[in-house]
Structure 1
Amino acid sequence: MAKFGWKVSQAPSNLAQECIKSKYVQDHRVTKFSNGSTTWRNIGRGWHLLQENCMWNLRNGENIHVWEDNWLGVGTLRSLISGPLQRGEVDLKVNKLGRGGNWDLRELSFHLPQAILNRILSMPPPHEESHSDILTPSFMVNGAFSLAQAYDAQLPTPWTNLDWIWKNNMEPKLKFFFWLLWKDRIPHMKLLHIRNIVPNSQCPRCYTIGEDSSHVIRDCSHSRGVWDMGAPQCPRGLSFTEWLKFNLGSKDSFKGVGWAVIFPYLCHEIWKDRTNVSLKNQKPAQPNTIIQRALTLARLRTKGGTYTRQEGGSSTPITREVVDIAIYVDASFVSIQEPVGLGGVIRNRKGDWEVGFSQCTFARDNSLAELRAIKLGLQIAKERNIHTATLFSDCVRMINLLSNTDGYADNYWSDLCECRKLWKDLPGVKIKHCSRTLNMVADGLAKVCRSNADSMNVTRIFPTPLVIF
């Protein structure tokens, strides 16, 4: 229903939209949703969701109220500040906070907390020559309405970040297996008993009642025999999910193999052994046998990590494009509430480190963060008088937006204008796409910057290489 409302209010014009508007919206007066056709009443059912999850995209600032509109992405400024406003200040517009292309917050009666001030200063200031401000739902993706994000907006609990599974370097089948463990959805006896497939929830190895994912992988006496032979010491009281996450992030090693590499194979081999006991009536394998199987698979995985699979099925070594000066940039984005890390490195023709740079800022989504990383790379090039270079980013969408090959740019208009202006001043700089593998150093600098967010909107320069992995 919210999507219907978006189509009527903001989607590209079409005949159905014009018919509904001509009937229910006249001279800016909107018919009550309780009246009218079934379609109009259904639009009303989703309208509150649309209103509660909208955010202003700042351009000239003439339509945005400083205190009562959501233009920072974290709610209205009034909801973040306690205390009375001066007379008439409630009607203050954002365009009054910009002068000469810079922010000027002297119109505000409050001394804003540093966290809010940093968020404001991370945005391009309003400019009177810009287009009108635009209100867009937070669940827009590439100019289209995302039903998945609209669904997430209605959930009573916040979305759980599972990057520790999906962005891990383990095999795809193991990522899916760990997702099932996190959901407690592997077909253990407790789940099968709930579905009336087996008569009880007894563990087939130790005969304990109530076998679940935690029991299969960690708590069963046969599983503990594996972990007692070399698992790193874990903090007490960890839940099963926290225990999985702790081991996947461990820096320890086991018999010459990183523990984070072998751990997924150990969990999977334990599950395979338990399945053989249940379905094939085999005896549980000895801990040494399970460990040896996992070690073999982990070592094969480690040896096979120097090549990338290209289209067509051929394996070729990773190579960099040879250019006189290369600027690699990347961003590290987690959520709109948390700081964003921007990072980059400049390399010479031989591929050697010339200088690194990073900056901590804020952004409403990952695409905007990637655009600001490109903008930071162009700023560094201009400051260091680099007029001929190739700037590499792993974000195809932002490169296309800068080249005018992607039509939807409403959410990023101000940053795009600043970025294009910088690029125009550097006609000898090309912007190209590169793989994430080639961009690992810039990505590492961005992640380190985001994790150590002590100074916001300040560019740091690193003349010598850093140890970031």
Structure 2
Amino acid sequence: MKFNASIEDTFIWTNNKNDSYTTKSACHNSVPTLSLLNYRKMNPSASCVRCGLQDETFLHCIRDCEFSRSLWHYIGFTNPNFFSNMDVYDWIKMGTIGTHSLIFSAGVWWSWRHRNLMSLNNETWSLSRLSFNIRSMVETFKNCFTITPNGGSVDRFIKWNNNNFSCTILNVDGSCLGSPARSGFGGIIRNTFGHYLAGFSGYIQGSSDILYAELYAIYKGLLLAINMSIDELVCYSDSLHCINLIKGPQVKFHMHAVLIQDIKDLISQSNVSLCHTLREGNQCADFFAKLGASSDADFTNHDSPPEGVQDLLKNNALGILFQRD
């Protein structure tokens, strides 16, 4: 392939002739709503099982069913024009342009997820819980896509202990490997200079739930730090969702509510700060999590650094910066 220095690098979309993205070129009417499944002879009825009032088309499922409509109202979409457009492509295009594009995108995703929870699991979430998850997703979007005022992407450089805390540092991570997936967790405790104090890893039998693995890593890491009588601790995780769940309001109806509350209790009883890091600053914890997923031990305490992690430890202690992918 030839390169020309006068041509600026840019993203292109190959699914239409002018290489520009359009929602029409990306959407294929393949969302498995009951209307589509009925049309394909895969479901006996096209009626919405939640309200029973209309066929479950995409727009009815995501936007117009009374359960979905109440969610949109709750997060601020109250303009009647928002609900009047009956063309899917135009509605999505309208929603993904402008200042509300991120919360619109998250709203579409969680409206669909809530439909699945209600229809498949007979589980209904409160509007406040759904709103919390939507706003957490928006924060994740913002952290992933930092934009300069002129519209260009910002190079982001990450290091271990990126916030420069001067105390004991705990990094944790969860991992799912292989097929069928094996879940594991792990973490590492170091002093403020990056010197190794302790590490841990473990295998979670019969689970492929990455969220549980991430939460369990935090829980086991905090317990280890307490057993080591560490007075002041900063815990870094690269799961922003976990951090939001722990720092947010009590989630009584979450599938991991007990574990989340156990973590909240540990944090409230000790001098612990919980922070988000990008994965480039969490490489050692990732090593231990993968070690746990590939083992058969429920929990292993590593008194000394395992083989293969020494170079990562050295790079972290030296404060080497890694560019965010």
TM-score range, shorter chain: 0.3 to 0.5
Q: Which has the bigger relative contact order, CA under 8 A and spacing at least 6?
A: 2
Q: Which has the larger radius of gyration?
A: 1
| TM-score normalised per structure 2 | 0.47
| TM-score normalised per structure 1 | 0.34
